[in-house]
Structure 1
């Protein structure tokens, strides 16, 4: 039985369907999922047989707005998410059915692999979190203009981007905010200039990003020989022609390529961190004599305790919020999970004030429990709902 189901509707060409399916397959493989087994992709003809228990999302390709209307109406009636999408320069109102005017659309830019569209689908079914966060690590004396440009460009594409000159409010502890925001980032964009490693702050940023298993996109300045310390990072080399000035900005075509690289790397980074937390969870479950009983949608894991009770754990990437706790409680209620669900998170690097806030939430909200990944075995061994 599939855990996730997607649908490609509307006026998509065979090439577009194939490319989107290929990109989705690459992304879900990072989570250890199999296409056509764990993840099923429907078209207008097969969507009527979809599994209503699986997490679901659809995309509607603009063009002829009269295609697959019966499927669109049925999905709207069941409140299933549908992403309308049109090509660059196309007109939304002439290519998308009027029933979908309420939904925010996605305009496809120079993205031949449709990475942004695939990511949006996986956000809708809960494989990728909806919060899109990036962290720019750079030296002001060498790459300030490029950093500000990428901050604005990524922000325009829906990312919450941390840049030191923009995102620390007066009176706040600079380092506390910096490490807190780093821990909640999906990708670190490293502007690798000649003196990058001469600053202890940038050295600490890259080191702690790697310690948290946050993937790094390394942008290497022209004529600069990068440190071997970051050889495992995804890399884009700049030529002199890619920069309008010594410290940027970066020319449009190259900056667009960087944004697409961040989009794809984000999926890998989230998958890697998720798999790391679930690996620790499985090891602790085995250690206390419990067992993983099943895998559910929304990345849920069923755990059978020694007294035969079954609890559901939801490992998450990033920093827990009240909104996220509510989302887990809602998913557990919809799935009729009778024991209190558990949100599992990595607490390392989270600010002390936020840890105190999470403890208050855990003491006062009884519909879901938040447990540190490092303490999950300890908590499950004496679990009380």
Structure 2
């Protein structure tokens, strides 16, 4: 592959570096991507290994004694517009960031390294390379008369970690069609946090939400209430990660009061970690399913398409033109075209066009009409193509 993603590691030599790299390579595997797409650049070899014309992201590891290294490289990267994530280790209230991180990075938003943040840091790196979408969308499914207070608690906790969280009572605007908006937001989410209370499946709409998640193959993080049999809901789910809650996971052991039950802080932290770890795996699985569906239909229509290692599809037409098909989870966005490989394709081959392929099931009509309008009125070399139209479009443009 001509382009590689460059991860530049700067600052002090700490054990956190190997932990983050190990997690990062595991996530690349989960995404179905080869380790070869990533080039690790360290300060000692920066002058020989770093290529200024290829995508880069830096991580600066702080020094607890304030002995800052690699300032010249850091300054150069900042001038070139490269993002650098400062990682520090001490207590925030004790001024650890200001001491451990050089002043040149003082206006960057940093992360304090603790083991539970390894997933999050790895995901930030993937997001910076557009290998994992930067929107972090979570849907909370629950039964109001059993777990309202816990649902609200998780909504607030996940939002504080910069997730875009859907909770019906907090998210749906006045005058919006309630159920249509629920299906729409579920379609566009990364992970569903399902509060599996004893009578969850007795609610028609809760049962429908669970069935919808299975149909769309959306990953579930199940929070199973104490003294509840998980088997009642586990069968048929696509990707399901249960967390069995104990009475001690609730404040004062109160778990059966819809208005007063609250999770203890350590339980909330465990849930957030699980959501972060599941997100990349679930998005990759849904992307793989969309690629498989499109490829099978293309072959059936006599089209010769190739799945690239970077998880997009190419087709070289007899006319010499090339089409890139980009699998898009949820609602197609222009950012789906911004990966380094696709930007490079568009730069070197002016006859290349792009189709953002997506599953339109349960996306609201107003969005589908908007996407169709964009197709009819804007740039013709970047268009959307919905799943229900795969076959007719492939046959019509043969």
Same fold (TM over 0.5): yes
Deviations 1:52-98 (A, max 9, x none): 56543221122246222233223223322221222352432222223
Aligned partner of residue 93 in structure 1, secondary structure: helix
- Residues 59-70 of structure 1 aligned to structure 2 (within 5 Å): 59-63=59-63, 64=66, 66-70=68-72
Partner Cα distance (2:305, 2:46) in 1: 31
What does residue 244 of structure 2 align with?
237
Secondary structure of residue in 2 paired with 1:291: coil
1:241-260 alignment runs, 5 A limit: 241-244=248-251, 245-246=254-255, 247=257, 248-260=261-273
Q: What is the Cα deviation at residue 295 of structure 1? A: 3.0
Following superposition, the deviation at residue 12 of structure 1 comes to: 4.2
> 1:325–1:368: 8 Å Cα contact kept in structure 2?
no
For the pair 1:108 / 2:108, whether they are aligned, the reply is no
| Cα contact 2:219–2:282 (8 A) shared by 1 | yes
Q: 1:374 to 1:46 in 2, by over 3 A?
A: farther
1:372 aligned partner:
386
Q: Find the partner of 1:177 among 181, 194, 198.
A: 181
Q: 1:238 & 1:294 partners in 2: Cα distance?
A: 42
Answer yes or no: is the 8 Å Cα contact 1:3–1:296 preserved in 2.
no
Give the unaligned 5+ runs of structure 1: none
1:1-385 matches, cutoff 5 A: 1=1, 3-13=4-14, 15-35=15-35, 37-48=36-47, 49-52=49-52, 54-63=54-63, 64=66, 66-87=68-89, 89-90=91-92, 91-109=96-114, 111=116, 114-230=118-234, 233-244=240-251, 245-246=254-255, 247=257, 248-293=261-306, 295=308, 299-321=311-333, 323-324=334-335, 327=338, 331=343, 335-338=347-350, 339-366=352-379, 367-383=381-397
Instruction: Flag the structure with larger Rg.
Output: 2
**Alignment deviations for residues 14-52 of structure 1 (CA, whole Å, 9 cap, x no partner):** x212211111111111222222x2333332233441455
> How far did 1:349 drift?
0.9
Gaps of 5+ in 2: none
Residue 108 of structure 1 and its aligned partner are, at CA, apart by: 3.3
Q: Distance in 2 between matches of 1:362 and 1:332?
A: 23
Distance 1:18 1:152, change over 3 A: same
Larger % of helix: which? 2
Separation (CA, whole Å) in 1 of partners of 2:226 and 2:353: 54
**Aligned residues: CA RMSD:** 2.6
- Structure 1 counterpart SS, 2:44: coil
Q: Is this contact kept in 2: 1:344–1:373, CA < 8 A? A: yes
User: 2-side partners of 1:285 and 1:46: how far apart?
Assistant: 45
* Structure 1 contact 128–267 (Cα < 8 Å) conserved: yes
Q: Quickly say closer, same or farther: Cα 1:102–1:343, change in 2 above 3 A.
A: farther
Aligned residues: 379
When normalised by structure 2's length, the TM-score is: 0.87
Deviations 1:79-129 (A, max 9, x none): 2222122235243222222332343222335516x0000000000001110
Contact 2:31–2:280 under 8 Å retained in 1: no
SS of the residue 2:8 aligns to: strand
- Give the conservation status (yes or no) of the 8 Å contact 1:290–1:306: no
Give 1:11 deviation, angstroms. 1.9
Please tell me whether the aligned partners of residues 294 and 303 of structure 1 are also in contact (alpha carbons under 8 angstroms): no
* Offset from partner CA, 1:327-349 (integer Å, 9 cap, x none): 58993686434222221111111
Q: Provide the secondary structure at the position in 2 that maps to 1:341.
A: strand
Cα distance in structure 2, aligned partners of 1:328 and 1:121 = 13
- Which deviates the most, 268-277 or 280-289? 280-289
